[in-house]
Structure formats: C-alpha cells, structure tokens
C-alpha cells in the first residue's frame, strides 16, 4: 500500500509539471509531503513491539491470584502438600514452603499449599494441584513417599519434589527425592552438647521413630556426644504416638523436656516439629540449661527459645527445594536422590560464650565428617 501511494504522488507531480506553464506552480510539488509515506512511516507501527513489551506479559504470574491458568505455558505454578505437620511448624514444613516462596519471588510463580490433616488424604491433596495442571508439586515428609510416586505415574508431565523421600526403589523420571545426611547434623549437635554439658547428662526430645530422618538425627546426636565423652549419660525419648500426632504435640514435648531436666540434663535437643518446639520453649524457662533446635536455624523461627538456643542442627531444606524448582524451570530436573546440605546454625547471642576450643573441635569434626575420616555409625 505504501508503494502505491508513492507511485500515485509521482504521477501527479509529472502531470502538474506538464500542464503548468512556469515554475510558479512548483509549490504544488510539495504534495509528496502530504503523501502517505511520511504518515505511514509509522514509527508508531514499527515501535509497536516495544510498546507491547512482551517480557512484561511473561511476568503476569507475579500478580496471579488463582490457579485457573496453570495450563498456560507462560504461567509457572508450584504447589506444596504438607504431611500431617502444619505449614507454620517453624522448622521442617516451613522451610520447604520458604523454598517455594523463593521461587515465587525469583520466577514469578503462582504458589499455594495444602495442609494434610489425615494421612488418607495424601493422594487427594496432591490431586488438587495435579488436576489444575501445576508444573511442580512439592510433597513434604517421608510418609508421603508412596503417594508421591503414585501421582508421578499418573501425571508424568508434572515434576515432583519429595522432601525426605529417598528414591531407593529405582528412579522415576519426574520425581526427585530431596534427602539429607541428618546423622551428620545430629553428630555435630551431640558433639556441641557434650562439650557444653557440666552435669554429664544431655537429652533429646524427638518425633516418632517411624520416620527415618528422626532416627538419623537421634543416632547421630548420641554418636557425636559419645565421640566427645564416651561416658556421657543420654536421655533420648521418642514420641509414643503415631504420625498424626508425633510432630504436633508441644505439650508432650515440654513435659518430656522438663522430665529430662529433672534428671540432670543441662542440654536438650528438640527434634520433632512443633513437638520439639515445645521442648525448646520449656528449656528456655530453666536457668543454666542449653537447647538445640532442628531442621532450620530456629533462632529465626522460635524467638521464645532465645534464652537457651545455642544452635540448631540444620537441614538446608529451603535452598534444596529452590534448587530443584530451578532445575525444573531450566529443563534440567534430576531424577532419583538429590542430596541437600546439613550443618550447625550460628551461635547468635551465645557466640561469645562458646569457648574457642569448642568451635575449633566442631570445625575439626565437620571436616572429618565431610572427608569420611569420621563416621557417625548410622546405617553402616
């Protein structure tokens, strides 16, 4: 069309020139200035791509308020299903959810969680996300392993991240089991506890022994303590209830911690979700007793425990979940087991109270655990 207007204008000019008698009519040759080419140069049209700013369209998930568009390739949806523990447990589930939230910040993902109230609801809770075409589903807890594998078979286009779900029965292409050497973190916690104890008695208040990571924490804790003091007195107590209550019973945790203190324990390790938190808070009310948290740096999540909380045996769940989400986004999702990191949290306000020789010994032990010259004895 633009070429047609140019030709028309040229012919008009020629016609005028032939019919005119002199140059006085030359101004008529300004007609090309009116010719559509100038108007249709349409930098406005050419600039349209810049005006639409397609990247801005791709950022739409940042402000998504529901999951109705999860099937859209431009929308990233990540769902999380807890075990019977609650999302605000201030350790395990919360750490996994923070990894999902980090993906929301980094990739503009729409994120949502479901809290499981009963183990029989594992499959249906996962399906709430799968049937909405979520891209990634995070299932939290060892007990959800079977339900996760079953869902992965039914929804092969979805990537599943199973926290604390070892993939020992063979790899499934769309399942990554985020697992940790809890025994090593526990070993460091036990070595710290034994060096701080003045009574020679330390304790652990734990979730159920039906969950292997809890057992690993406990066995590592005891081995680390004995590494420092072979004669140390250990009071380790598992919650007697089932999966439905073992991690959400702070009252039992507090009572059990109090009993251990009454028996002379001056360091208490709380490892069991809200049950363990109850132990930490109870210890905080006792003078001269230290406590050690679990899973995350609980200085940040259980401020009520600050009077006693010297450190935490950490599983770096948040970066582990985020790294696996990133791998999925990049098309590099790993099947099988994915090993996350562990370690001790900072000493925070207790830093100046921890002797340098204790810190040096912990660094020495950590190095030995990493290079294999020190073993925990768990699972071996």
| pLDDT over 70 (residue 65) | no
| pLDDT over 80 (residue 53) | no
Where exactly does CATH 3.40.50.2300 map onto the chain? 73-180+316-342, 182-315+347-371
Alpha-carbon torsion 297, 104, 182, 274, what sign? positive
Host H or E run for residue 245: none
Task: Please give the share of the chain, as a percent, with pLDDT higher than 90.
Answer: 80
- Taking residue 288's Cβ as centre, other Cβ atoms within 10 Å add up to 9
Q: What's domain 182-315+347-371's architecture?
A: 3-Layer(aba) Sandwich (3.40)
- Taking residue 54's Cβ as centre, other Cβ atoms within 10 Å add up to 9
Lowest mean pLDDT among 63-72, 149-158, 166-175, 347-356: 63-72
Under DSSP, is residue 363 helix (H, G, I), strand (E, B) or coil? helix
Taking residues 358-365, what's their average pLDDT? Answer: 98
Q: Are 198 and 232 in contact (CB under 8 A)?
A: no
Taking residues 231-237, what's their average pLDDT? Answer: 98
- What superfamily in CATH does domain 73-180+316-342 come from? Response regulator (3.40.50.2300)
| pLDDT over 80 (residue 282) | yes
Radius of gyration of the chain, Cα coordinates, nearest whole angstrom: 32
Mean per-residue pLDDT of the chain: 86
The residue among 64, 59, 80, 60 whose CA lies nearest residue 136 is 80
**Residue 231, pLDDT score:** 98
Lowest mean pLDDT among 54-63, 302-311, 360-369: 54-63
**Residue 33, pLDDT score:** 38
Instruction: Determine the Cα–Cα distance for residues 267 and 309; give it in Å rounded to an integer.
Output: 10
Helix ranges restricted to H, 120-237 = 122-130, 145-154, 182-196, 212-228
Confidence bin at 54 (pLDDT 50/70/90)? very low
| pLDDT over 80 (residue 56) | no
């Amino acid at each position: 069309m633009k070429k047609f207007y140019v030709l028309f204008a040229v012919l008009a000019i020629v016609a005028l020139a032939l019919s005119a008698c002199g140059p006085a009519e030359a101004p008529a040759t300004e007609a090309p200035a009116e010719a559509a080419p100038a108007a249709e140069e349409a930098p406005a049209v050419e600039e349209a791509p810049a005006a639409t700013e397609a990247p801005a369209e791709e950022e739409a998930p940042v402000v998504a308020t529901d999951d109705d568009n999860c099937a859209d390739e431009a929308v990233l949806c990540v769902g999380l299903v807890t075990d019977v523990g609650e999302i605000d447990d201030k350790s395990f589930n919360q750490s996994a959810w923070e990894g999902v939230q980090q993906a929301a910040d980094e990739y503009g993902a729409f994120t949502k969680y479901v809290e499981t109230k009963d183990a029989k609801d594992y499959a249906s809770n996962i399906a709430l996300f799968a049937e909405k075409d979520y891209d990634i589903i995070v299932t939290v807890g060892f007990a959800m392993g079977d339900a996760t594998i079953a869902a992965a078979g039914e929804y092969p286009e979805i990537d599943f991240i199973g926290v604390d779900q070892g993939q020992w029965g063979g790899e499934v292409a769309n399942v990554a089991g985020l697992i940790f050497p809890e025994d090593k973190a526990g070993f460091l916690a036990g070595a710290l506890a034994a060096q701080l104890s003045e009574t020679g008695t330390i304790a652990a208040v734990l979730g159920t022994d039906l969950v292997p990571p809890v057992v690993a924490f406990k066995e590592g804790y005891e081995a680390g303590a004995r590494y420092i003091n072979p004669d140390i007195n250990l009071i380790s107590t598992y919650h007697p209830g089932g999966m439905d209550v073992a991690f959400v019973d702070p009252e039992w945790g507090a009572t059990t911690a109090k009993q251990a203190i009454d028996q002379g324990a001056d360091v208490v390790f709380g490892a069991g979700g809200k049950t363990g938190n109850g132990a930490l808070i109870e210890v905080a009310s006792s003078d001269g007793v230290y406590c050690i948290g679990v899973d995350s740096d609980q200085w940040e999540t259980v401020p009520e425990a600050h009077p006693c909380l010297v450190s935490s045996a950490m599983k770096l769940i948040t970066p582990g979940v985020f790294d696996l989400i990133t791998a999925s986004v990049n098309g590099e999702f790993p099947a099988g087991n994915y090993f996350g990191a562990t370690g001790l949290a900072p000493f925070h306000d207790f830093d100046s109270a921890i002797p340098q020789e204790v810190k040096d010994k912990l660094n020495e032990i950590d190095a030995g655990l990493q290079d294999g010259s020190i073993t925990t004895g768990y699972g071996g």
